[in-house]
Amino acid sequence: MNARADQIVAIARSWIGTPYQHQCAKRGAGADCLGLVRGVWTELFDRPAPIVPAYTPDWNEPQGREDLLRAARLLLVERHGAPVPGQVLMFRMKPGSIAKHLGIVSAPDRFIHAYDGHGTCESTLSGPWRQRIAAHFDFPDRPGAS
């Protein structure tokens, strides 16, 4: 890993153990998957992460809009190829559903994410998880530079 990826992974790991709390981003108190990414952004850039549209806590969005994917493409740098540590993963939890879950690659076969019933944790990036990846991104070099 490079120094920047090391920094991103270290920040993300500092969130492990934070309880799940929908639409929150406070290390140790509560976070959801987007809150984790927003928290890493805030620490990485020493400024609050941009606001993203509101979203429901379940895996469906009745409107069927890819709001989270669209926001990621505006704020982050989309990459292709195999995900590497320090990158943000975006998942579709079911085939044909919208992309609605996020995590941060922590090792070639692991990622950090937050979800209901588990809080913020590090999981194996197993075959089933890999099949759900809709896109992956780098944090920009600086805010507004994607």
Residue 18 domain-assigned (yes or no): yes
Could you report the per-residue pLDDT of 109-134, keeping only the tens digit for each?
A: 999 999 999 999 999 999 999 999 99
Tell me which residue of 104, 101, 105 sits closest to 84, measured CA to CA: 105
Within a domain: 145: no
**46 Rama class: left (phi>0) / alpha (psi -120 to 50) / beta:** left
Indicate whether 54 belongs to any domain: yes
pLDDT in tens, 78-120: 999 999 999 999 999 888 889 999 999 999 999 999 999 999 9
Write down the pTM of the prediction.
0.93
Please give the tally of structural domains in the chain.
Answer: 1
Q: Does 144 map to a domain?
A: no
| Domain-located, residue 71 | yes
120 to each of 15, 35, 52, 65, 137, how far by Cα in Å? 6, 10, 20, 26, 20
Q: Residue 4's pLDDT band (boundaries 50, 70, 90)? A: very high
Determine the structural domain holding residue 13 and report its residue range.
3-138
User: Which CATH number does the domain housing residue 113 bear?
Assistant: 3.90.1720.10
pLDDT band at 59 (very low <50, low <70, confident <90, very high): low
Q: Quick check: helix, strand or coil at residue 41?
A: helix
The confidence score (pLDDT) of residue 58 equals 59
Q: For residue 98, tell me if it sits in a domain.
A: yes
* 146 in any annotated domain: no
DSSP, res 57: S
